[in-house]
Amino acid sequence: MFFDDDFVADKDWLAMALRAFRDDPKLAAMTGWVLADGIKGPGIPFDEACRIVDAPIEAPARSWTVPYSPYGCNMAYRVSAIGDLRFDERLVLYGWLEDRDFAAALSRKGGTMAQCKDARGIHMGSKGGRVSGVRLGYSQIANPL
């Protein structure tokens, strides 16, 4: 299981992930439902993220989306599906798209990848502690996938 340090998971996220892997032996990777993603804007303060994740929501029409590539802020993998596969340490600086790169390598080995909307959370998209925009831009160009 991988969470970014600025991801606020619903209290049931882990239980939903465990259930997903238990119920589908072909499930190699899963990601949860990001209810709000601060990376696409100014960011979401922690208190606001907690309020959103704790608020009641209407259940989605379907709880699974297949296929669905794991999103690095909240993803889990079946260890036996990974085998000897490793994250590519050659991805420079920010490791831009390491989640997509790893998922693509795993998909070549087979198995299902899905989004489980029962595992919810908020990606605050914290702006502090990140590399500069110039360095991020470089990693986006140097790590094309």
- Domains of the chain: which residue ranges? 2-142
Predicted local confidence at residue 82, as pLDDT: 94
* 28-48 per-position pLDDT tens digit: 999 999 999 998 899 999 999
State pTM to two decimals. Answer: 0.83
Which neighbouring-strand residues pair with 8? 122
Predicted local confidence at residue 100, as pLDDT: 86
Is pLDDT at 7 greater than 90 in this prediction?
yes
3-state secondary structure of 78: coil
Reference 34, options 73, 63, 66, 80; nearest CA is 73
